C-alpha cells in the first residue's frame, strides 16, 4: 500500500502531488469516498470547485429549496453515532439544514484537511506506462493518483437556456442551480421565472411572497404532490432512531431505497372507489410515495392514467380560475415519467393576484430584451429573471472535464452517442477511473444518498481487493459494458419513463443524444448485481499488472 502523500518535482515545471485516490467533488459522494479511502489506509485528496462541502446542496440555495426525501432517510447510514446525534427539524429538510449537516459530517470525520476547495478539475489523463491518473486543475496544481473517483454528482451542471437576447437583459439573472450565496432581494420587483420542474415548483411560491408581480413562464406543466412538510415530530424521530439499522435495511430492499408503503395489486385490479380512496389517502399523507400506490403505475398506461387523472382533478380544484388551471394540467406525459415534484402551495400560488401564468407552449418566448421578455405578442417588463431551467444531468459534470483514457480516448468522444458504462461504475478504456452514481446506475431514481453509499462502498471494497491481489489496474471489459447498456435500455423500454421528454433522456439539453440514462430495475436488483460481480472476482472487469 502506498502512503506517498508528498509533493514531487515534475513534468512541465509544475509540482505534482501524489496520492492513492484522487476524488473529484466534495458532495455526499466525495465526502464518504474520502472517509472510506482513509479507512483503507490510503492517501486521498478531494478536489472541489466550491468553497465548501455539500455538492448540489452547496449551490442550490434558492428560496424554498428542500429535499423531497424525508430527512430521517435522506442522510448517511454508515455511522450509527452520526444518525443518532443529528437532529432534523422538519419532515423534509431545507437546503440550509442539509448543508449544515454536510458541514457537520465534514467536521466530525475530520474531512476538510484533505479537500482542496475553490479548485476545478480541468483534465484527467490516464498515463498508461505507469497506470496512474494525472489530474490537472484550474489552479495549476496537478495530482498523480492510482485511482481516480468521479464524485461529480448527477444534478450539478446547471443548464442555461439558449434564448435569443438573454445576455442583453439588464436586470439580475439568477439560476436556481447556482443561486447567489448572499441571497437576492427581490421584494417589490417584477420577477420572471422560466421553468416549472422541481426547482421552479419550489421557488415560485416563495418568490410570489416577495415580488411585486411574478410572471411564471411555463413550457410544460408538471405533476406535483403536496409535500405536507411539517416540524419534526419527536415520537416519529425517536421511533426512527430506535430502529435505524432495521429501517435502513428495509429501505434498501425497496426499489428507490426509500422506506415507503408499496401497494401490491394492479391499479386496475381494484374498483374505482377503492382506488380513489387510496389516492386520497396518499394525497393527504403527502410526498412522492404517492407513486407507490400501485406497482404498475409506471408500467401500464391505463393504470398510470388513473393516478394522473386524480392529480389533474386536484389541480383543477386548487386553482380558482379555470382559464389559469387548464394550462397547469399536465397532459403530455404519464405521471412519474418525469420526476414527480413535491410542493408547498404551488398550484394555490396561481390564485394570488400578483402571479401571472404565461403559457409559453401556446405563446413561445420570442426574445429577451434589456427590459423584459416577449412571449407571443406580449411584452413582460421585468426587474429580475430566475432561470429554473434544470441541469445537464448525469453526464454534464463529467463531460465538462477533459477525461482522457487509454490511447488518447476522450470520454466525450466515447460517449458521443450516449454514455456507456458497466454498472454506471466504470467505462471501458478508462482503467482505475470510478464513477459514483454514473449513467447506467439507478442513482437519480432513488434516495441518492443510499445509492451513493452503496456505490462508494463497492468502490472502496474493489480498491481493497485490487491492493490485496497486487493489481495495477481494473477496467470494465467491452462485452460486459455492452451487455449492461443493453440491459439498461431494455429495462427502461418496459416502462412509461421513456414516454416523457425528460432530463433522464437528456433531451432538455440541445444536441445531447436521447438515451435513457438511469437503470430502472430498482436499487435492490442493481445492488445484487454489483455484489455478485464483486463476489465472482469482479466478473466483467479485467484486472492486471500493467495495461497493454
Write the Ramachandran bin of 345: left for phi over 0, alpha for psi from -120 to 50, otherwise beta. left
Tell me how far, at minimum, the Cβ of 346 lies from ligand N01, in Å.
11
Rounded-to-10 torsion of CA 76, 465, 55, 254: -40
Rg of the chain (C-alpha set): 24
Should residue 199 be labelled a site residue for ligand N01 when binding is judged by CB under 6 A? yes
**For 302, what's the count of Cα atoms within 13 Å in the CB-facing half-sphere?**
5
Should residue 198 be labelled a site residue for ligand N01 when binding is judged by CB under 6 A? yes
Q: Which residues is 355 bridged to in the sheet? A: 214
Query: Terminal CA-to-CA distance of the chain, rounded, Å?
Result: 23
Should residue 184 be labelled a site residue for ligand N01 when binding is judged by CB under 6 A? no
Write the Ramachandran bin of 423: left for phi over 0, alpha for psi from -120 to 50, otherwise beta. left
Phi and psi torsions of 4, nearest 5°: -95, 65
Should residue 200 be labelled a site residue for ligand N01 when binding is judged by CB under 6 A? yes
Residue 98 Cα distances to 76, 154, 162, 453, angstroms: 11, 17, 31, 17
d(C-alpha 70, C-alpha 256), whole Å: 13
Among 503, 516, 526, 538, binds ligand N01 (CB under 6 A): 503
Tell me how far, at minimum, the Cβ of 35 lies from ligand N01, in Å.
24
Among 71, 300, 389, 437, binds ligand N01 (CB under 6 A): 389
Q: Which stretch binds ligand N01 (CB under 6 A): 24-32, 115-123, 389-397, 419-427?
A: 389-397
Closer residue to ligand N01 in complex, CB, 58/503: 503
Should residue 224 be labelled a site residue for ligand N01 when binding is judged by CB under 6 A? no
Closer residue to ligand N01 in complex, CB, 213/338: 338
Among 330, 334, 372, 390, binds ligand N01 (CB under 6 A): 390
Closer residue to ligand N01 in complex, CB, 390/405: 390
Question: Which is nearest to 350 in space by CA: 322, 310, 311?
Answer: 322
Should residue 195 be labelled a site residue for ligand N01 when binding is judged by CB under 6 A? yes
d(C-alpha 148, C-alpha 127), whole Å: 12
What is the three-state SS of 475-509?
A: EECHHHHHHHHHHHHHHHHCCCHHHCCCCCCCCCC
Should residue 512 be labelled a site residue for ligand N01 when binding is judged by CB under 6 A? no
> What does the longest C-alpha to C-alpha distance in the chain come to?
74
Should residue 508 be labelled a site residue for ligand N01 when binding is judged by CB under 6 A? yes
Should residue 391 be labelled a site residue for ligand N01 when binding is judged by CB under 6 A? yes
Closer residue to ligand N01 in complex, CB, 26/388: 388
Tell me how far, at minimum, the Cβ of 541 lies from ligand N01, in Å.
30
How many residues line the site for ligand N01 (CB under 6 A)? Answer: 27
d(C-alpha 134, C-alpha 127), whole Å: 7
Tell me how far, at minimum, the Cβ of 93 lies from ligand N01, in Å.
10
Should residue 220 be labelled a site residue for ligand N01 when binding is judged by CB under 6 A? yes
Among 19, 166, 388, 401, binds ligand N01 (CB under 6 A): 388
User: Closest CB to ligand N01 belongs to which residue?
Assistant: 197
Should residue 517 be labelled a site residue for ligand N01 when binding is judged by CB under 6 A? no
Among 108, 219, 265, 414, binds ligand N01 (CB under 6 A): 219
Q: Which stretch binds ligand N01 (CB under 6 A): 307-315, 385-393, 488-496, 535-543?
A: 385-393
Closer residue to ligand N01 in complex, CB, 74/484: 74
Query: What is the DSSP annotation of 300-367?
Result: -HHHHHHHHHHHHHHHHHH-S-HHHHHHHS--SS-TTTSPPEEESSHHHHTTSTTEEEEETTTS-EEE
Should residue 163 be labelled a site residue for ligand N01 when binding is judged by CB under 6 A? yes
Among 161, 295, 371, 513, binds ligand N01 (CB under 6 A): 161
Tell me how far, at minimum, the Cβ of 23 lies from ligand N01, in Å.
23
Q: 429-458: which residues touch ligand N01 (CB under 6 A)? A: 444
Tell me how far, at minimum, the Cβ of 514 lies from ligand N01, in Å.
13
Question: Which is nearest to 216 in space by CA: 17, 86, 354?
Answer: 354
**For 147, what's the count of Cα atoms within 13 Å in the CB-facing half-sphere?**
30
Closer residue to ligand N01 in complex, CB, 17/68: 68
Closer residue to ligand N01 in complex, CB, 167/235: 167
Binding site for ligand N01 (CB under 6 A): 66-68, 155, 161, 163, 176, 194-200, 202, 219-220, 339, 342, 360, 388-391, 444, 503, 508
Amino acid at each position: 500500500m502506498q502512503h506517498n502523500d508528498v509533493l514531487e518535482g515534475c513534468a512541465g515545471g509544475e509540482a505534482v502531488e501524489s496520492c492513492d485516490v484522487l476524488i473529484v467533488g466534495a458532495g455526499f459522494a466525495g465526502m464518504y469516498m474520502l472517509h472510506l479511502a482513509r479507512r483503507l489506509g490510503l492517501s486521498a485528496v478531494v478536489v472541489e470547485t466550491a468553497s465548501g462541502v455539500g455538492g448540489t446542496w452547496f449551490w442550490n440555495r434558492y428560496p424554498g429549496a428542500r429535499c423531497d426525501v424525508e430527512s430521517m432517510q435522506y442522510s448517511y447510514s454508515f455511522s450509527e453515532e452520526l444518525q443518532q446525534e443529528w437532529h432534523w427539524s422538519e419532515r423534509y429538510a431545507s437546503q440550509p439544514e442539509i448543508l449544515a449537516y454536510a458541514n457537520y459530517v465534514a467536521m466530525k470525520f475530520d474531512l476538510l484537511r484533505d479537500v482542496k476547495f475553490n479548485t476545478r478539475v480541468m483534465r484527467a489523463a490516464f498515463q498508461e506506462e505507469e497506470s496512474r491518473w494525472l489530474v490537472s486543475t484550474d489552479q495549476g496544481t496537478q495530482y498523480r493518483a492510482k485511482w481516480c473517483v468521479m464524485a461529480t454528482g448527477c444534478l450539478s451542471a446547471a443548464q442555461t437556456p439558449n434564448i435569443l437576447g438573454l445576455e442583453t437583459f439588464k436586470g439580475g439573472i439568477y439560476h436556481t442551480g447556482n443561486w447567489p450565496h448572499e441571497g437576492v432581494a427581490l421584494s417589490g420587483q417584477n420577477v420572471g421565472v422560466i421553468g416549472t420542474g422541481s426547482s421552479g415548483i419550489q421557488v415560485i411560491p416563495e418568490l410570489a411572497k416577495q415580488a411585486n408581480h411574478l410572471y411564471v413562464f411555463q413550457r410544460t406543466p408538471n405533476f406535483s404532490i403536496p409535500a405536507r412538510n411539517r416540524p419534526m415530530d419527536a415520537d416519529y424521530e425517536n421511533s426512527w432512531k430506535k430502529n435505524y439499522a432495521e429501517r435502513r435495511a428495509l429501505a434498501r430492499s425497496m426499489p428507490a431505497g426509500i422506506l415507503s408503503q408499496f401497494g401490491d395489486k394492479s391499479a386496475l385490479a381494484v374498483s374505482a372507489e377503492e382506488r380513489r380512496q387510496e389516492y386520497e389517502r396518499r394525497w393527504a399523507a403527502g410526498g412522492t410515495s404517492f407513486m407507490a400506490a400501485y406497482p404498475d403505475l409506471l408500467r401500464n398506461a391505463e393504470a398510470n392514467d388513473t393516478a394522473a387523472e386524480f392529480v389533474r382533478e386536484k389541480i383543477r380544484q386548487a386553482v380558482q380560475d379555470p382559464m389559469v388551471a387548464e394550462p397547469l394540467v399536465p397532459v403530455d406525459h404519464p405521471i412519474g415519467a418525469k420526476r414527480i415534484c413535491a410542493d408547498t402551495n404551488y398550484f394555490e400560488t396561481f390564485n394570488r393576484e400578483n402571479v401571472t401564468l404565461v403559457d409559453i407552449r401556446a405563446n413561445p418566448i420570442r426574445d429577451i430584451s434589456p427590459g423584459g421578455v416577449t412571449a407571443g405578442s406580449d411584452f413582460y417588463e421585468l426587474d429580475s429573471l430566475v432561470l429554473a431551467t434544470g441541469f445537464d444531468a448525469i453526464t454534464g459534470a463529467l463531460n465538462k472535464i477533459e477525461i482522457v483514457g487509454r490511447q488518447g480516448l476522450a470520454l466525450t468522444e466515447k460517449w458521443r452517442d450516449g454514455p456507456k458504462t458497466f454498472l454506471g461504475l466504470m467505462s471501458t478504456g478508462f482503467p482505475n477511473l470510478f464513477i459514483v452514481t454514473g449513467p447506467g446506475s439507478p442513482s437519480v431514481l432513488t434516495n441518492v444518498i443510499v445509492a451513493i453509499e452503496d456505490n462508494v462502498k463497492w468502490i472502496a471494497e474493489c480498491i481493497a481487493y485490487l491492493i490485496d491481489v497486487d493489481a495495477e489496474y481494473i477496467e470494465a471489459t467491452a462485452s460486459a459494458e455492452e451487455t449492461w447498456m443493453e440491459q439498461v435500455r431494455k429495462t427502461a423500454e418496459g416502462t412509461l419513463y421513456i414516454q416523457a421528454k425528460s432530463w433522464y433522456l437528456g433531451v432538455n439539453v440541445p444536441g445531447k443524444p436521447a438515451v435513457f440514462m438511469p437503470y430502472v430495475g430498482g436499487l435492490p436488483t442493481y445492488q445484487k448485481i454489483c455484489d455478485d460481480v464483486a463476489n465472482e472476482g469482479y466478473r466483467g472487469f479485467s484486472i492486471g499488472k500493467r495495461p497493454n
